[in-house]
Amino acid sequence: MSATDNKRILRKWLKALQAGDMETLLALQSKDCVWLLPGSKKLPWAGRWKGVQRQKTYLKRIAGAVDFGKQEFKEFIGEGARIVVTGQEIARSKPKGKRWNVTFAWAFTLKRGKVVAWEAFENTEIIAACY
């Protein structure tokens, strides 16, 4: 698939992620898709999330831990199967009510029209300080 096709698929996948729409996520990703979200143990969503059950757990944890104020995707950069999305996130920790504002770069790999990997790069220390 072309980079244009992959960016279109990725936009749909990200919209489903924001909505917590597991059905659409599953339709747009491989069965063995891996999500890599680094960070300290203070962050309940940090870690490696492979497979449907683990990813459902991720979505529940993130919903219980974060109040998203703004999550904006600015650029979709890439060639072929590898797409990097840059953006900004303004959110608040639900347990302590502390707010963060970070920029991020999320790297995705797509194969045969499906997301097979997501790896997040962001300043997790700023976010961890809110927990």
Tell me what pLDDT residue 49 has.
97
Count of domains for the chain: 1
- 8 Å CB contact between 13 and 100: no
Ramachandran angles phi, psi of 7, nearest 5°: -65, -40
CA 17 and chain centroid, separation: 7
String of DSSP letters for 62-111: HHHHEEEEEEEEEEEEEETTEEEEEEEEEEEETTT--EEEEEEEEEEEEE
- CATH number for the domain that contains residue 44: 3.10.450.50
Ramachandran angles phi, psi of 10, nearest 5°: -65, -40
- pLDDT confidence bin for 90, thresholds 50/70/90: very high
Tell me what pLDDT residue 5 has.
95
Q: Which of 126, 124, 129 is nearest to 106 (CA)?
A: 124
Tell me what pLDDT residue 20 has.
86
Tell me what pLDDT residue 1 has.
86
Q: What is the pTM of this model?
A: 0.92
- 8 Å CB contact between 49 and 60: no
pLDDT in tens, 19-78: 989 899 999 999 999 999 999 999 999 999 999 899 999 999 999 999 999 999 999 999
Res. 111: pLDDT tops 90: yes
Domain that holds residue 22: 3-128
